[in-house]
Structure 1
Amino acid sequence: MAKVTKFCSLLHSTCGLKEAFEGQYGANRSIPSAVSTRWNSTLRLVEAVTDLDPQSLNTLLEAQGHKGLCLSAREWSQLKELVEILAPFLQATDLTQGEKVVTKCGFALRSLTQQPPQQMDVSDSAQPAGDLPFGDMVYMMSALLDPSFCFFWLEQDVLAPDEVKSEVKEMIMDLVLAEARKVTILAESSSGEDNKDEEPPAKTPRLFTGYRKKSKKKDDHVSSVKAELIRYIQVCSGEEDEADCLVFWKRNAKVFPRLYLVAMRVLAVPATSAPVERVFSHGGLIMRPHRARLSARTLSSLIFLKCNHSVA
């Protein structure tokens, strides 16, 4: 392992070795760097090295003056065996990494399934769930309104009977509908305050006034929040590629106008902690020692632009 990590370090820091490596294996071939806090990155490094031809690699190292890094046949077979043993764990790590797993809904799901439906007040979507951390129901709604997760996490990752899953789905949908009613009331109250000084124009009765009212009610029923929610779930089920949450709602704001307002309110709480952790990583990369005089406002603006460049 020491030889492999040393070889990778030299490959990424020495121009001569890098040029010789690209000349031997091609410019498109590379060895990934290892991250000290990610064990799977080290395994990927070893896997990439063992995919190379051992004789040509040893010849390359000898020609570049790194004979001490050459691997013997025994060391090569040991690395191969290590990769084969840890391959299932690598796959499990990739499947459960933060970007693909709802990291906070487990607590809320536990409290939701323990509380009978008739005792749950869905009108209060922000009710606390006991003393459990992250037990607020907003985490359940944020997972539903994130197209990367929707109900996939509940169907695939939760070990529970299908009846329980169906019941939980209905509960979460009721929470979203209750939140939609809140958003509608807030929007109507704010618009009413803006227009309270304006007198409504006088309406002239027309021949087909009653017919138009019925048609309007029918259209409102079709474009209701529940209909939008059902259609949204169908769209997420048909998505082949994982969609970015903010990009998805920006693109479909007119397709789901009422649900869009709920999403913009609920998604202030992300369904997974991976984006939040990535913000701190970007901050560390931007606030380097030679840029230590950046003001807090400038640093905040740079991080915001870096993290949201895809939705600009």
Structure 2
Amino acid sequence: MQSAKELVRKELSHNLKDCAVSSMPSTSEQPGSSTEQKKPGLLDFIKQRRPNTNLTASAVNILRMYLETDPQNEEAEITKAAESAGAFWSSNKHLAPLNTIALKYLAIPATSVPSERMFSKSGYVLSSRRSRLQADAVDQICFINQNYDLIETGKV
């Protein structure tokens, strides 16, 4: 079984690969342009000497930068982040590829249907006929009711 850090690293490298592929210019040539030579640009020699980046290494570096943020040195930033996650990600734009993964997995559900359903089931359990149940018994009954499918299939 893979750790959460490994799963995030894989998804981050996949996102970086998708960004690299989408930002690559298309190399479709015109029919008559094969005889014309492209003039070298002013900075073309830098592009030729620049090594190709390894996407996995980039993902590991971004993840390491995120994990090594020191809360003691960034107290004002952490205070802003506690107020809103958007403020944290806007102040840490150098971690932008990780932002998409954070929004995917750390998002709050748009509805409260599961919690409302649980309160409704608790109301059925605590009917007037069962008014003498203790709080622990009610919690256990609600837990079993909510997770019955997992218990029945033997996954728990």
TM over 0.5: no
TM-score between both structures, scaled by the size of structure 2: 0.41
Tell me the TM-score normalised to structure 1 length.
Answer: 0.24
Bigger CA radius of gyration: 1
Pick 1 or 2: higher relative contact order, CA cutoff 8 A, min separation 6.
2
